[in-house]
A and B are shown apart, each in its own frame.
Chain A
């Protein structure tokens, strides 16, 4: 066991973790944050994407003790004040969701993109979500949703 302190979706938390736990396992099995999904366990599908210290990562390839001291955002942290974010709204409106299993990871990759680049080009969007597999939508509506959300969030900030 190792003791770690993290900030998860804005809340500080100190806890003990087994050394071989992945961050994904910690989130799903011990913090009841099941929005983050496991699709492959080897960094190929992106369903487990969360944001650690501002960067999207595959939580299946990070050990729980490695995130000691880190700030973690999961899909459960995307709503603000009980309201959908513009990104979430755009995903719904643009048909960027079908089965929904890739959606949390996809939204996290998109969120991290908009954090580092509020006005991404289509190529930049594609690059940002290339590590997130979706078997249902054909990606096109997801790309559109992210572009639309970027626009809305930029306008909102002004």
Chain B
């Protein structure tokens, strides 16, 4: 592996100082499950890795005033095992549970999954439908970015080079329901061919999100007033929203079929959950 300097941070101030100093030559190291592979493949060669895991506050996983706070260093398995998850957030745990393998989930962080900004990232769609926000910090201060504004392009986010994600905040669904589904080439440990999440608020507003069908995970929240059981109209809207490509994992044509198939199953589950 290429050489770099490993910098271990114990406070946020230290981390943003280091990042400000080294900006474009540094990468934040959380779980490392994407970053170390990129470095090994020679796709990136940062001179500094800033390990934020020793920073205590980034490990917060708690419900605060109806807001689920997932610190940037919280691992995917910690999220799955979190006992106080509010009702209606099934989409996020369902997605977390089928992200990579058990070993990877012990290292991979929720923050890292979205910062890596793969079009197929499994946590993108559930965070989109649940209306999550990304909390960040830099020397210039803190800000909160709605998740739908966070993804910019394939593997590109709207984070500034000197900015660190500190937490992901998910508002309590308050009576709403959600779900997630994923299609891969195999049943085991694989990237998504298409992944999808859906959520319905208590008053019936539908939000759906899909991954691996556009340069970023995409949110669709305007269905021209289609009812939940009007599958055909909903699928029409989705087909206009997605722009899948052919790649090594699947063809665009198959991805379209899978968006339709997943959307139908998700709508079915949502309706069942609303009734149940």
Chain A interface residues (CB < 8 Å from chain B): 2, 18-20, 22, 41-44, 46, 49, 55-58, 60-63, 65-66, 68, 109, 127-128, 130-132
User: Which of B5, B40, B103, B188 is within 8 Å of A49, CB to CB?
Assistant: B103
**Interface of chain B, main secondary structure:** mixed
A43, B101: Cβ atoms closer than 8 Å: yes
B275 within 8 A of A: no
Q: A61 with B33: in contact, given A2-B6, A130-B188 (CB under 8 Å)?
A: yes
State whether A42 touches B104 (Cβ < 8 A): no
User: For B40, what are the chain A residues with a Cβ–Cβ distance below 8 Å?
Assistant: 41-42
Question: Which residues of chain B in 99-136 are interfacial with respect to chain A, using CB atoms and an 8 Å cutoff?
Answer: 100-104, 106-107
In the complex, how many residue pairs between chain A and chain B have their CB atoms under 8 Å apart? Answer: 78
Task: Select B102's contact among A19, A41, A63, A128, beta carbons within 8 Å.
Answer: A128
Please tell me if the beta carbons of B36 and A63 are within 8 angstroms of each other in the complex.
Answer: yes
- Smallest CB separation, B158 vs chain A (Å): 27
- How many angstroms between the C-alpha atoms of A1 and B194 in the bound complex? 43
B272 at the interface (CB under 8 A from A): no
CB distance from B41 to the nearest CB of A (A): 8
Given contacts A66-B53, A109-B103, A130-B188, contact A42 B6 (CB under 8 A): no
Offer 19 A-B interface pairs, CB within 8 angstroms, sorted by A.
Answer: A18-B3, A19-B5, A20-B2, A22-B36, A42-B37, A43-B104, A46-B101, A60-B36, A61-B33, A61-B36, A61-B37, A63-B29, A63-B32, A65-B8, A66-B53, A109-B103, A130-B102, A130-B189, A131-B104
* Residue B1 at the chain A interface, CB threshold 8 Å: yes
* Other A-B pairs, 4, CB within 8 Å; known A18-B3, A58-B107, A66-B29: A55-B77, A56-B102, A66-B6, A128-B102
Q: Does B257 contact A (CB under 8 A)?
A: no
State which of A41, A49, A66 has its C-beta within 8 Å of the C-beta of B51. Answer: A66
Counting chain B residues whose Cβ lies within 8 A of the other chain, the interface size class is 20 to 34
Chain B residue at minimal CB-CB distance from A42: B37
User: In the complex, A69→B51 CA distance in Å?
Assistant: 15
B contact residues around A19 at 8 Å (CB): 3-6, 49
Judging by beta carbons under 8 Å apart, are B32 and A66 in contact? yes
Chain B residues proximal to chain A, CB less than 8 Å: 1-6, 8, 29, 32-33, 36-37, 40-41, 49, 51, 53, 77, 100-104, 106-107, 188-189
Report yes or no: B101 in contact with A131, Cβ–Cβ below 8 A: yes
Q: Contacts of A62 on B, CB cut-off 8 Å?
A: 32, 107
* Closest beta carbon of chain B to A98's beta carbon, Å: 19
CA distance A61 to B53 in the complex (A): 15
**Minimum Cβ distance to chain B for residue A3 (Å):** 12
Q: Is the CB of B107 within 8 A of A57?
A: yes
Q: Known contacts being A43-B33, A44-B189, A130-B188, is A22 close to B103, with CB within 8 Å?
A: no
Instruction: List chain B residues, Cβ under 8 A from A132.
Output: 101
Q: In the complex, what residues of A have CB within 8 A of residue B53's CB?
A: 66
Q: In the bound complex, how far is the Cα of B113 from the Cα of A19, in angstroms?
A: 24
Interface centre among B33, B101, B106, by most A CB within 10 Å? B101
A44 to B103, CA, bound (A): 10
Q: Is the CB of B37 within 8 A of A20?
A: no
Most buried by B among A19, A20, A22, A43: A43
Expressed in whole angstroms, the minimum distance between the Cβ of B251 and any Cβ of chain A is 23
- What is the bound-complex CA distance between A38 and B174, given in angstroms? 47
CA distance A127 to B105 in the complex (A): 12
With a cutoff of 8 Å between Cβ atoms, the chain B residues found around residue A58 in the complex are 33, 103-104, 107
* Contact B3 A46, beta carbon cutoff 8 Å: no
- Closest B residue to A21 using CB positions: B1
B101 / chain A contacts, CB cutoff of 8 Å? 43, 46, 130-132
Closest-by-CB residue of A relative to B75 is: A55
State whether B1 touches A22 (Cβ < 8 A). yes
